Amino acid sequence: MANSASGIAVHDECKLTFLELKARRNHRYVIFKLDDGLDKVVVDKIGGQGESYEDFCKCLPDDDCRYAVFDYDFTTDENCHKSKIFFFAWSPDVAKVRTKMLYASSKDRFKRELDGIQVELQATDPSEMSWDILKARAL
């Protein structure tokens, strides 16, 4: 179903891959992009459980927008193991204006399709999604 604000649809593979990350914990992260026709969100890259946050950050393009989810595992001060699913809206300053507008206008609708997002981060630069920021937002 197309997004009423932007006309962007969400491919079923996006929802299924997210469910694999959330329920089965098969993936560390999933990166999504608009397809070449700019009319549908599709899966761009899937990161295996053994991949790190650094690996995830390296997969985000320097000059184009992306949506992404990252499964962050951590241990609290009370020695309790937890996990939080982060949603990232990656929109670098050097991306095309039209692309940034399409991603921005489709973000909320796309995020609603991914039931179970716990924390959202919007970033235009890698410094806005550093490891320290991720840890602080998880608590």
Give the pLDDT band of residue 25 (cuts 50, 70, 90).
very high
Q: What residue type is 12 in one-letter code?
A: D
**Report field, pTM of the whole predicted structure over 0.85:** yes
State the average pLDDT over residues 1-26.
Answer: 84
What pLDDT is recorded for position 97? 96
Q: Is the pLDDT of residue 1 over 80?
A: no
pLDDT in the model for residue 4? 46
Q: Where are the alpha helices (DSSP H) in 49-125?
A: 53-58, 97-113
Residue range 36-82, pLDDT digits in tens: 988 999 999 999 999 999 999 999 999 999 999 999 999 888 999 99
73-126 per-position pLDDT tens digit: 998 889 999 999 999 999 999 999 999 999 999 999 999 999 999 999 999 999
- 19-39 average pLDDT score: 94
Nearest 5°: phi and psi at 79?
65, 35
Which contiguous run of DSSP H or E holds residue 13?
helix 12-19
